[in-house]
Amino acid sequence: MSIHFNLTTHPSHHPPHPQTMGEPPPTKPLPFAVHVIRGRWFSLFASFLVMTGAGATYLFGVYSKEIKSSLGYDQTTLNLLGFFKDLGANVGVPSGLLAEITPTWFVLLLGSALNFSGYFMIWLAVTNRISKPKVWQMCLYICIGANSQNFANTGALVTSVSNFPEGRGVVLGLLKGFTGLSGAIMTQIYSAVYGNDSKSLILLIAWLPAAISVVFVYTIRTMSLVRQPNELRLFYRFLYVSVFLALFIMAMTIAQNLVTFSRTSYAGSALVVIFLLFVPLFISIREELNLWKQSKQLPIDVGDVNINNPDNVNDCENAGYSQNVTNVTNGTDVAKTKGEGKMSCFANVFLNKPERGEDYTILQALLSTDMLILFISTFCGLGTSLTAVDNLGQIGESLGYPPKTIKSFVSLLSIWNYFGRIFAGFVSEILLVKYKFPRPLMFSLVLFLSCVGLIMIAFPIPGSVYVASIIIGFSFGAQLPLIFAIISELFGLKYYSTLFNCGQLGSPLGTYILNVKVTGPLYDREAVKELAKKGLTRGAVKELICMGSHCYRLSFIILACVCCFGGLASLILVIRTREFYNGGIYKKFRERGQVSQQTKS
């Protein structure tokens, strides 16, 4: 049996033998254990665990108090540290560019090294094992540690989207959902291992995510583009497990706030959490077993398969045009033919951009109006949300809540961060497929919801911080999968590893302006006023502390106005892309998947 592909290819590329998920021809099936480890579903499970360790930045509200008291920082300095954390967490362009030229395993290994080195140095400083670092050194440490999550995102998230392009919304929701749960999961583990020592939480953040990446470094990679009719059903199974995990952690968080848990009780809770994290492994093994049995069946001769009129994407190469022909068996570019017309590279960038949904070059995407609108909305949405997340510990302290309750706020925010990501991934996908409901419109609605949570902190009433934590966590979580999915839909997947990292660059800029230049100074100003009322000066106290509802009122009113502006800006993108989302944005992936299924037969 011979299968021929009528593709125009580059002389140095040859169409690979069609195969499913990196498996060899059916006549020589791999041993089952090897098949599982090399399989697409095991790779997705490994990505879940890697993303579970990629949310350490959301725990800043728990251990920031230790940094502030141990090193004698005021709120403005602490917020500066928070800005560099957010800067590292959101400037992922280096990891994206690196992923274009290096294998996934190298990206993950480098990320694990950055994670350990950055947070381990912070732990050494806070525990006085090294001399007190200068402020710029602490900013550098936390920036390096936080930047490691971009390598996890690029390695695990981008790879999984490439492996499941037609279910990208669902995949993004699941993966970012596990990241949202990361803070609450690590809180349960550190309570079981280290007790109530917040300084040891920094040590856990240093070694655990790095260890996860090292263990699964070779199992996460881009595989053949294959459509399976039961994919969505499997995604829903993963969803049910993750929802149960989130509900269990939320119940434990509430119980731990109401009842004093012993070390044994914390250990039992952590064991249940770890078991639930590995339930997707059993689902993956079962599916890989079915695929392994199918791979052992004899092939059926279906004759020649000819592919005509592949998608043409304008690209800029050697200052001229080229056409990118997509290999239907693995979803990667295997050929480029130069067009006859010569034209300036910059003319191609500015004047001859592809249609929405086709593969943009990096410059074409970055210089587009759609990306500019996304940048403004991200600046407003993620900037305000991260400012609220970073100040949550101090907000609880200023309102007189005990440390145990403040930890509950952070856990609630983490859990509802997860629900927001799951909601944005699954619900936006369902609404898009069934009703052609555009994702940018859901993004606008999420930003308006975030305004409500910010207002509740500006004008607190008894118990309102609990509700505000839920609202802000949900809306913050929902923003990320929507932004990443919108970028992949508008600008294609060819340079997705770089573009999705560029798409969140507005976040650190927004955090710097709103957190360091607005929220921190306004808090310190209120604290100085309280000292003046007591007849004290700034130099008379080691740490500036403001108590009362007025401490964050003005700053969060400003945050709510900025977030509302971001929601209005994103409505412009809704208007610009309404025709695009009314069409079949997944049509080309569906056609390629069908051809791949024919070749397997």
Question: Do the Cβ atoms of 284 and 45 come closer than 8 Å?
Answer: yes
The candidate with the shortest Cα–Cα distance to 273, out of 186, 209, 172, 156, is 186
pLDDT confidence of residue 529: 87
Is the pLDDT at 380 greater than 90, yes or no? Answer: yes
Domain boundary assignment for the chain: 45-219+230-279+363-582
Structure confidence at residue 87 as a pLDDT band (50, 70, 90): confident
Question: Do the Cβ atoms of 321 and 348 come closer than 8 Å?
Answer: yes
pLDDT confidence of residue 227: 65
- CB count within 10 Å of CB 390 equals 27
Alpha helices in 436-552 (DSSP H): 439-458, 464-491, 496-502, 506-511, 520-533
Euclidean distance between CA atoms 152 and 109, whole angstroms: 9
For 385-407, how does the pLDDT look when each residue is reduced to its tens digit (9 = 90+)? 989 988 888 888 888 888 777 77
DSSP string, 78-128: HHHHHHHHHHHHH--HHHHHHHHHS-HHHHHHHHHHHHHHHHHHHHHHHTT
Is the pLDDT at 6 greater than 60, yes or no? Answer: no
pLDDT confidence of residue 4: 43
For 452-511, how does the pLDDT look when each residue is reduced to its tens digit (9 = 90+)? 999 999 999 888 888 998 999 899 989 988 998 899 888 887 888 788 778 778 888 888
Write down the CATH superfamily of domain 45-219+230-279+363-582.
MFS general substrate transporter like domains (1.20.1250.20)
For 105-140, how does the pLDDT look when each residue is reduced to its tens digit (9 = 90+)? 999 999 999 999 999 999 999 998 999 899 999 999
